[in-house]
Structure 1
């Protein structure tokens, strides 16, 4: 059975919506996801970089993110024909471990805990495919990288790019 490794943030968990909401509330701004095209919030407001990254260091930040549309249904379908692993570069924000684990248990309870991989460098993942929103994770990955479209990666090139979970379903279950 082939393996699919799937990133968490901005692939199955809607990171940007909460991040922008917290920022806009605190700094009385009206930034939208459209403003993040080709960039990241910390680059749009470099003078507030530490504060923006500070949200991610809050142990509860990742606990209540929205689930990306159709991800649960499609991953459940894929799990009938593929081994599925959720791989998150949690070492970037170690305080996120508990919240991310609880979030996965709540929203993807049909997957085994043993299929949740908290790591730093995803090149250690042995899978046939990696679905991720960051092309940097494909650089040393031995399998096929599949770029999940996100505002920050609109200018990135990838051999395969998908825009949503229905496209992923079509790619794997055609």
Structure 2
């Protein structure tokens, strides 16, 4: 969800500007983990409203609606590391993706327990163990790495081109 449906990098930049007065250009964080790129990232993700107010990734709602009609779609998001995120992610999904039922939402700890046909994620740690087809959603933290066996997609239009 984070970095694929929800634009958490915009949130990090917004919080960092408000917190430290720093405005980082997108290129400045390429190749860095979120923790390396944003000094107070742990504080931000534990702040009420961080996940609830995250912008939606452009094109994600429309493409997800199409995917939901064509596939058996589940949203799987790690939510246990940051306890406030559990409820906020659920509310965020209800608000922005109302066509998904509560039964399609899996808020969990580790994604290693997830099995299926296709996984779209922005972290190698979630894709590398997955037994099905994998799509790597480009984000600054993964842009400098070879996608390997994963198909790299840089936008929701590219996701649609691969899956629809």
**Shift of residue 43, structure 1, vs aligned partner:** 1.2
SS at match of 2:80: helix
Match of 1:73 among 32, 42, 62: 62
> 1:11 maps to what in 2?
4
CA contact (8 A) 1:17 1:33 kept: no
Q: Which has the higher contact order (CA 8 A, sep 6+)?
A: 1
Moved more, 119-128 or 82-91: 119-128
What does 1:1-174 align with in structure 2 at a 5 Å threshold? 8-44=1-37, 48=39, 51-158=40-147, 159=149, 160-173=151-164
SS at match of 2:44: helix
* Alpha-carbon separation, structure 2, partners of 1:171 and 1:39: 27
SS at match of 1:63: coil
**Shift of residue 52, structure 1, vs aligned partner:** 2.5
RMSD: 1.4
Unpaired runs of 5+ residues, structure 2, are: none
Unpaired runs of 5+ residues, structure 1, are: 1-7
**Shift of residue 41, structure 1, vs aligned partner:** 4.4
**Shift of residue 81, structure 1, vs aligned partner:** 1.2
CA contact (8 A) 1:131 1:146 kept: yes
TM-score for the superposition, normalised by structure 2: 0.93
**Shift of residue 22, structure 1, vs aligned partner:** 1.0
CA contact (8 A) 1:58 1:96 kept: no
TM-score for the superposition, normalised by structure 1: 0.88
CA contact (8 A) 1:123 1:142 kept: no
Aligned length: 162
For residues 3-23 of structure 1, give each alpha carbon's deviation from its aligned partner in whole angstroms, at most 9, with x where no partner exists: xxxxx0010000011111111
Moved more, 34-43 or 110-119: 34-43
Q: Evaluate the alpha carbon distance shift between residue 93 and residue 29 of structure 1 in structure 2; reply closer, same or farther with a 3 A threshold.
A: same
**Shift of residue 156, structure 1, vs aligned partner:** 2.0
